[in-house]
């Protein structure tokens, strides 16, 4: 074993955690510092270090920046339209009060596809407050399924930023990530959502928070549920259609050339999200009386949080590139090449360690992706296997949310819970999502 490369790998990870946890340096800057550290310790020339960092960042951002930006625009229009609350009301009306936990879980699962987790939670929290007031049951009976749906989609299903970034770093096809995300996410949502909510709501009878003020009735002019569902699922269907056309399961000779050309073009994530944005811009904005100035203001504001995620992802790409070109990646591959150690388990554990120690799921996903990517060098892993690795990382990055995670405090404050209650409910819920995700990922890995 090359002990210089071992020192670069172990020292790099230790330095990253020290910078983020102890010195509280922003993850973007920390990843760039650690990339240079690994390059220097592994013996790379200065010019090579800087050029590979630049190439890694550029290669990652070329795809991720576009998808995350388009996704942020898409979510902002949906939020503005009021369609999320209308969709929740529709689901409740169809499924009834007895099945309300399932209804809010499904709503959260759908709404978080285009909308960031925290924004979607704030939009939909009045719905669970109203259910609590109407039924008199513990608020957790409705809050936990909603949070499970939101958290799973946010981590598992593109075009949310986390899985998009990991898919790009690992070279996974986004269509297969969507498919495996749904396959893994649905059982995870059921276990961590309605089933766990049924248990924990009997242990903690959570009342409405003291700060709760009854909300006004839903705007009757909100867009119809079928329109919201159609617009949200449009880009997903287009991306998956492209994946199917290009997969070995369908023979290219069976599809007319012009049809294949069109599907491949409009099914690319760039084109699919551009189409979805234009449809949303018109049907949720212009046709409902929104002015061009209002829509410009909404869309411009939506790009601010996307900028942080884009820069962080770019730094993750630089880190990955240094690991690969320095030889550290090759060392990791050789040391973990045994048949007894599953790449799925490795990816999950790395993401889980970073998540538990520093809190941010996005940082955990990007860091774990950079460390896992070298395992794919020279491998025969197919598109489906790479997609499973993306979900394994997403699962690990979801585990054990606690006091160093902003989501912990967002949920605690909005629902009026003590720290102990938040640990018993929210923290356990995120762990159930992670464990279920790992189990399904391991099963998928064995099958594919």
pLDDT digits (tens, 9 = 90+) for 34-45: 999 999 998 999
Residue 44's pLDDT is what?
Answer: 92
Q: Are 52 and 325 in contact (CB under 8 A)?
A: yes
Percentage of residues of the chain with pLDDT beyond 70: 93
Query: pTM of whole model > 0.75?
Result: yes
430 within 8 A of 398, measured Cβ to Cβ: yes
Contact by Cβ (8 Å): 153, 113: yes
The alpha carbon of residue 36 and the mean position of all alpha carbons in its chain are separated, in whole angstroms, by 28
Distance, in Å, from the CA atom of 91 to the CA atom of 100, rounded to the nearest integer, reads 8
Average pLDDT, rounded, for the chain: 86
| Ramachandran angles phi, psi of 279, nearest 5° | -65, -45
d(CA 322, CA 231) in angstroms, rounded, equals 40
Return contacts of 287-290, CB within 8 angstroms, 24+ apart.
288/81, 288/221, 288/223, 290/80
What gap in Å lies between CA 183 and CA 50, rounded to an integer? 40
* Model confidence at 69: pLDDT above 70: yes
Q: Domain residue spans in the chain?
A: 3-447
Q: Could you tell me the CA-to-CA distances from 284 to 80, 159, 202, 281 in Å, in that order?
A: 8, 19, 40, 6
Cα dihedral: 389, 162, 84, 235 (round 10): -70
Percentage above 90 pLDDT, the chain: 35
Q: What is the pLDDT of residues 342-380, one digit of tens each?
A: 889 989 998 998 888 777 788 889 888 988 888 787 677
Separation CA 182–CA 112 (nearest Å): 13
Token representation of residue 332: 């990791």
Q: Report d(CA 299, CA 292) in Å as an integer.
A: 11
**pLDDT tens by residue, 268-308:** 989 999 999 999 899 988 888 888 888 888 888 878 777 77
CB-CB neighbours of 442 under 10 Å = 16
CA distance 304 to 76: 11
């Amino acid at each position: 074993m090359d002990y210089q490369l071992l020192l670069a790998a172990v020292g790099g990870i230790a330095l990253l955690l020290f910078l983020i946890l102890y010195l509280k340096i922003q993850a973007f800057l920390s990843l760039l510092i650690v990339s240079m550290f690994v390059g220097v310790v592994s013996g790379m020339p200065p010019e090579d270090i800087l050029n590979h960092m630049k190439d890694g960042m550029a290669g990652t951002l070329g795809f991720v920046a576009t998808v995350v930006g388009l996704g942020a625009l898409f979510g902002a229009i949906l939020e503005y339209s009021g369609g999320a609350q209308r969709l929740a009301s529709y689901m409740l009306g169809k499924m009834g009060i007895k099945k309300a936990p399932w209804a809010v879980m499904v709503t959260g699962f759908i709404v978080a596809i285009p909308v960031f987790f925290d924004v979607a939670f704030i939009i939909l929290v009045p719905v669970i407050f109203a259910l609590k007031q109407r039924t008199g049951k513990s608020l957790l009976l409705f809050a936990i399924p909603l949070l499970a749906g939101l958290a799973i989609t946010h981590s598992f299903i593109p075009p949310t930023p986390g899985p998009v970034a990991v898919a790009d770093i690992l070279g996974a096809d986004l269509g297969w990530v969507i498919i495996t995300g749904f396959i893994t996410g649905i059982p995870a949502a059921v276990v961590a959502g309605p089933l766990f909510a049924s248990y924990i709501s009997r242990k903690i009878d959570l009342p409405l928070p003291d700060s709760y003020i009854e909300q006004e009735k839903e705007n009757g002019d909100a867009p119809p549920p079928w329109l919201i569902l159609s617009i949200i699922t449009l880009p997903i269907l287009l991306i998956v259609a492209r994946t199917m056309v290009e997969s070995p399961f369908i023979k290219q000779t069976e599809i007319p050339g012009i049809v294949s050309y069109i599907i491949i073009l409009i099914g690319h994530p760039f084109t699919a999200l551009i189409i979805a944005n234009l449809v949303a811009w018109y049907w949720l904005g212009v046709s409902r009386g929104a002015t061009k100035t209002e829509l410009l203001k909404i869309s411009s504001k939506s790009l601010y949080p996307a900028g942080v995620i884009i820069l962080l992802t770019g730094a993750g790409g630089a880190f990955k590139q240094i690991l690969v070109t320095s030889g550290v990646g090759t060392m990791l591959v050789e040391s973990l090449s045994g048949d007894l150690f599953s790449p799925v388990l490795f990816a999950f554990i790395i993401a889980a360690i970073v998540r538990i120690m520093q809190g941010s799921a996005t940082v955990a996903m990007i860091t774990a992706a950079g460390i896992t990517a070298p395992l794919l060098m020279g491998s025969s892993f197919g598109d489906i296997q790479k997609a499973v690795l993306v979900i394994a990382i997403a699962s690990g990055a979801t585990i054990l949310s606690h006091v160093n995670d902003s989501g912990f405090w967002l949920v605690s404050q909005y629902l009026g819970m003590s720290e102990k209650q938040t640990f018993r409910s929210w923290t356990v819920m995120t762990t159930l999502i992670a464990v279920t995700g790992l189990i399904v990922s391991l099963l998928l890995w064995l099958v594919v």
